[in-house]
Amino acid sequence: MSTPDTRQSTPPIAQSRDRLIQIVSERSLLRDTNVKLASGASSRFCFDMKRTAFHPEGANLMAQLILHELANVDVDYVGGLEMGAVPLVASVIQQSFPHRPLGGFFVRKQPKDHGTRRLIEGLGREDSLAGKTVVLLEDVRTTGGSVLKAVSAVRDESASVPSVVTVLDRLKGASDNLKRENVALQAVLTSRDFEL
């Protein structure tokens, strides 16, 4: 007769989070470099999260953990500012189907000077953000300045933006800056999860 295994197993979400930290460490964390961040500050390390967002397992884990963050949030659409949010939005809306289908879109930094000339792309003719709840996604957050452009564009369409979910928060003021705009910041990972 076999004895039951009484060891505590790591919950699936914790396992996914640990694995994502490993992938980000291997693929996206660039050390011993001098890089200028979107905030204008310079740093001796940076997170190039696109390297993880375009990795099959990395993209899957990011989407899974973002959906976990959204589990208790009443949300109609996810979106975000080009370019970093585009692969995140695509992965999240794909994984949301069929159990909790979410619509998705992205916000251009500048409207194109041809075609539809829209700032918000990806919505169908019948789709409207008016009266809807939108959560914006980000790959990495430093001060939150970039995502506020997307918050403004979405609010201009009469939607509410209660929160931003970022894969990685560098812990450099984004939470406080977003709070001033009545937007909460939820982070899947922070810079404290890495040996910097």
Residue ranges in the chain whose pLDDT is less than 70: 1-11, 37-39, 111-117
Domain limits for position 104: 12-193
Domain presence at residue 1: no
Domain presence at residue 20: yes
Domain presence at residue 5: no
Rounded-to-integer distance, Cα 105 and Cα 13, Å: 26
Domain presence at residue 3: no
Rounded-to-integer distance, Cα 144 and Cα 20, Å: 22
Rounded-to-integer distance, Cα 194 and Cα 167, Å: 13
Rounded-to-integer distance, Cα 113 and Cα 78, Å: 25
Domain presence at residue 142: yes
Pairing of strands 160-169, 103-104: unpaired
Q: Indicate the helix (H) or strand (E) that contains 100.
A: none
Domain presence at residue 2: no
Pairing of strands 46-47, 160-169: unpaired
pTM: 0.87
Domain presence at residue 83: yes
Domain presence at residue 102: yes
CATH code, domain with 148: 3.40.50.2020
Kindly report, residue by residue over 89-122, the tens digit of the pLDDT: 999 999 999 999 999 999 998 766 655 567 899 9
Q: Which of 195, 196, 194 is nearest to 21 (CA)?
A: 194
Provide the number of structural domains found in the chain: 1
